[in-house]
Amino acid sequence: MATQTVKGKERYKSGVIPYKQMGYWDPDYAPKDTDIITLFRITPQPGVDPDEAAAAVAGESSTATWTVVWTDRLTACDLYRAKAFRVDPVPNTGAGTKTEPQYFAYIAYDIDLFEPGSIANLTASIIGNVFGFKAVKALRLEDMRIPVAYLKTFQGPATGIVVERERLDKFGRPLLGATTKPKLGLSGRNYGRVVYEALKGGLDFVKDDENINSQPFMHWRDRFLYCIDAVNRASAATGEVKGHYLNVTAGTMEDMYERADFAKALGSVIVMIDLVIGYTAIQSMAKWARKNDMILHLHRAGNSTYSRQKNHGMNFRVICKWMRMAGVDHIHAGTVVGKLEGDPLMIKGFYDTLRESRTPQSLENGLFFDQDWASLNKVMPVASGGIHAGQMHQLIHYLGEDVILQFGGGTIGHPMGIQAGATANRVALEAMILARNEGRDYFKEGPQILEAAAKTCTPLKAALETWKDISFNYESTDTADFVPTATPSA
Amino acid sequence: MMTNPGNRLTQGQFSFLPDLTDTQITAQIKYALSRGMAISVEYTDDPHPRNTYWEMFGMPMFDLRDPAGILMEINNCRKSFPNHYIRVMAFDSTQGWETPRMSFIVNRPKKEPGFGLVRQEVEGRRIQYTIHSYATDKPESDRY
């Protein structure tokens, strides 16, 4: 098969020519600083040449259709064509392995293909038609390099880690949260009880769950009123700023604005939305949050439908990038040790993407590109799902201090009650941060540090006893394709 | 008296632990200095959760890199204000942060009166809340 790009009159003759020859494959292309670069994992249909599959993905995610059109010639079509410029076989796939051959395809897009400040427009191209394209058996968006010029068209996080901490007056330690449980069925009055107990006991935040909106058992205004009473009571009882993520997710933007405005009128420091409301709604709420001095929490409801399987969908790190651009302040990004999917190396990649000013390429963490974040605020990652006080040393080791640790069951399920559960978590946290700062090998000595702290804290002692054997050791499905290899010394 | 666990104001990094000893405070100072931060000592008799600006016991010690010297400043502050809240803060001037990165309490009044919650009932079921610091019922510098 000819591989040269067809040029001139021949290129625009009616009919079908391979994408590769239409100009969507250019191994000599040197991406510009202003290009958006994507990395796709492609599983071509049997018999489809990987370069052609990559060119097809480039074509279908930019200007191409299945056949030649003469109207291309009315445009600066060479510029607007996305260009697949590099295709590498994925390590440990293909012949001799259990996995069919996969390829990493690097594709560059000119910045003028995209509307400034619109995640919806960006994604309509990048993950629009192309995922259903027949020539590829499976397709996964692994990573993107977003140029500084394009990042500067986005607001970014409404508040950011720095301002959030300044507003809350909480520095130098992870924040503590919990999700109210049971997540469905409590009346407003009973629900607020959980919030009050947890905050008074020592948590910074309590959280609505993703599917708490306005149901027959508790309409949203009742929840908001009782929760804010609980927040203020707890704040007075402790002298600390406290918060409850009021979930404003609703069926329409108008309803969401109404709920968010009510949360503001009540004096809430934070509101929350779900990922399922969609990219445009998220960006709208981020603008609202910036305008109204509100921290914006995002629950990643729905992401695992497309982010978990390795061969198809999109990697969560791309969601992290889009959400930092869209402007949320918090996003759930994995716990490493909890009940939900999470390989430590991959999660480091997510956390770095959310929190760093610049993330260098790091294949072992799944970061394929150098990424300068162009002074966009930092997003606070949230670790939630099956974590407890006994894992504090591991949590701080893997996740650092700029994170929200959410112990739902680990607070509310405490044998001595919710306040005691909260106190156990807070004491464990402070003891571990103290030890870390003292230079102790807290990761190794974690259990001893917790035992020592439990001597003066009965709730912590009870928590360690209750959950001592609980761990979730399952193999992750989303893992690195590259492992760091030790260089043999001479 | 405050009724929360510990019966004390829980602002800062270590309020749920037993009061830090001078050795423990020194270790935290060393940690801050090793990360290039500047330490500041601040005190107040109004610990309202939204009282951001406690009084500075001198400027942040940008040029003092000796933990013993900093501990001396902390102890001078304690001597001058034995019955105030005193906190140690560490400022990070790195681009992208430029904010306090540590804050912990090293001195408290013997009795912590805490806060009341004032509820003003407004329209509908709404309530407007004010957190009232009992200490501020007395004039400044006459509170503890």
Residue pair A51/A25 in contact (Cβ under 8 Å)? The answer is yes
Residues 6+ apart with CB under 8 A from A260: A248, A271, A285, A288, A289, A292, A294
H or E element at residue A396: helix A392-399
Please say if the pLDDT value at position A340 is more than 80: no
Residue pair A357/A373 in contact (Cβ under 8 Å)? The answer is yes
| HEC profile of chain B | CCCCCCCCCCCCCCCCCCCCCHHHHHHHHHHHHHCCCEEEEEEECCCCCCCCCCEECCCCECCCCCHHHHHHHHHHHHHHCCCCEEEEEEEECCCCCCEEEEEEEEECCCCCCCEEEEEEECCCCCEEEEEEEHHHHCCCCCCC
Burial B39-58, CB ≥16 within 10 A → b, else e: bbbbbbbebebebeebeebe
Please say if the pLDDT value at position A65 is more than 90: no
CA distance A428 to A407: 12
Closest residue of chain A to B32, computed from CA coordinates: A437
| Average pLDDT over every residue of A67-84 | 92
Give residue-wise pLDDT tens across range A356-385: 999 999 999 999 999 999 999 999 999 988
Judge whether A416 is closer than 8 Å to chain B, CB to CB: no
| Average pLDDT over every residue of A77-101 | 95
DSSP for A70-97, written as a single string: GGGGGTTHHHHS-EEEEEEEPTT-STTS
CA distances (Å), B122 to each of A267, A270, A378, B129, B130, in order?
A: 14, 22, 37, 10, 13
pLDDT of residue A473: 67
Residue pair A478/A310 in contact (Cβ under 8 Å)? The answer is yes
Closest residue of chain A to B8, computed from CA coordinates: A238
| Average pLDDT over every residue of A137-147 | 97
Please say if the pLDDT value at position A13 is more than 70: yes
The owner of tokens 């880690």 is: A161
Of A210, A160, A44, nearest to A402 by C-alpha is A160
**Tokens encoding A164:** 């959030």
CA distance A213 to A270: 15
What's the helix, strand, coil split of chain A in %, to 5? 40, 15, 40
At position A138, the amino acid (one-letter code) is: A
The per-residue pLDDT of chain A, averaged, comes to 94
Please say if the pLDDT value at position A393 is more than 90: yes
Judge whether A426 is closer than 8 Å to chain B, CB to CB: yes
Closest residue of chain A to B97, computed from CA coordinates: A162
Give strand pairing partners of A367.
A362
- Best interface-test mutation with A: which of B21, B106, B129, B130 has the largest number of A CBs within 10 A? B129
Please say if the pLDDT value at position A485 is more than 60: no
Judge whether A229 is closer than 8 Å to chain B, CB to CB: yes
CA distances (Å), A149 to each of A124, A152, A356, in order?
A: 20, 5, 18
Pick the residue with more confidence: A132 or A191? Answer: A191
ipTM exceeding cut-off 0.95 for this assembly: yes
How many Cβ atoms sit within 10 Å of the Cβ of residue B123?
5
| Average pLDDT over every residue of A283-310 | 95
Please say if the pLDDT value at position A206 is more than 80: yes
Active site residue A310: no
Residue pair A277/A255 in contact (Cβ under 8 Å)? The answer is no
Residues 6+ apart with CB under 8 A from A141: A38, A39, A40, A126, A127, A313, A314, A315, A318
User: pLDDT tens, position by position, for chain B (144 residues)?
Assistant: 899 999 999 999 999 999 999 999 999 999 999 999 999 999 999 999 999 999 999 999 999 999 999 999 999 999 999 999 999 999 999 999 999 999 999 999 999 999 999 999 999 899 999 999 999 998 887 887
Pick the residue with more confidence: A231 or A69? Answer: A231
Model pTM score: 0.95
**Tokens encoding A386:** 């099956």
- A-chain residues near B30 (CB < 8 A): 439
Report A:67-126 residues touching B (Cβ under 8 A): none
CA distance B144 to B141: 8
* pLDDT band, residue A273 (cuts 50/70/90): very high
Please say if the pLDDT value at position A25 is more than 90: yes
Please say if the pLDDT value at position A397 is more than 50: yes
pLDDT of residue A15: 87
Report A:363-392 residues touching B (Cβ under 8 A): 375, 378
Share of chain A above pLDDT 70, in %: 96
> A251-260, A416-425, A478-487 — which is least confidently predicted?
A478-487
pLDDT of residue A474: 66
| Average pLDDT over every residue of A289-298 | 98
Give A437: exposed, middle or buried? Use CB within 10 Å, 0-12, 13-18, 19+. Answer: buried
CA distance B78 to B66: 19
CA distance B124 to B120: 12
pLDDT of residue A3: 63
CA distance A91 to A157: 36
| Average pLDDT over every residue of A296-316 | 94
Judge whether B139 is closer than 8 Å to chain A, CB to CB: no
pLDDT of residue A409: 87
Q: How far is C-alpha A174 from the geometric centre of its chain's CA atoms?
A: 18
Please say if the pLDDT value at position A94 is more than 50: yes
- A-chain residues near B132 (CB < 8 A): 236
Active site residue A181: yes
Chains A–B, number of C-beta pairs less than 8 Å apart: 125
- B-chain residues near A453 (CB < 8 A): 17
pLDDT of residue A489: 46
pLDDT of residue A484: 61
Instruction: Kindly report whether the peptide bond that precedes residue B49 is cis, defined as omega within 30 degrees of 0.
Output: no
Give A172: exposed, middle or buried? Use CB within 10 Å, 0-12, 13-18, 19+. Answer: buried
At position A20, the amino acid (one-letter code) is: K
The two most distant CA atoms of chain B are separated, in Å, by 58
pLDDT of residue A271: 98
CA distance A264 to B33: 39
- Best interface-test mutation with A: which of B2, B7, B16 has the largest number of A CBs within 10 A? B16
- A-chain residues near B15 (CB < 8 A): 430
CB pair distance less than 8 Å for B16 and A202: yes
Residues 6+ apart with CB under 8 A from B47: A239, B9, B11, B85, B133, B135
Please say if the pLDDT value at position A2 is more than 80: no
* pLDDT band, residue A341 (cuts 50/70/90): low
Report B:16-55 residues touching A (Cβ under 8 A): 16-18, 24, 27-28, 30-31, 47-50, 52
CA distance A45 to A47: 6
Give CA torsion, residues A368, A370, A376, A378, to 10 deg. Answer: 60
Closest residue of chain A to B1, computed from CA coordinates: A237
Among B11, B13, B96, the residue with its CB nearest the CB of A357 is: B96
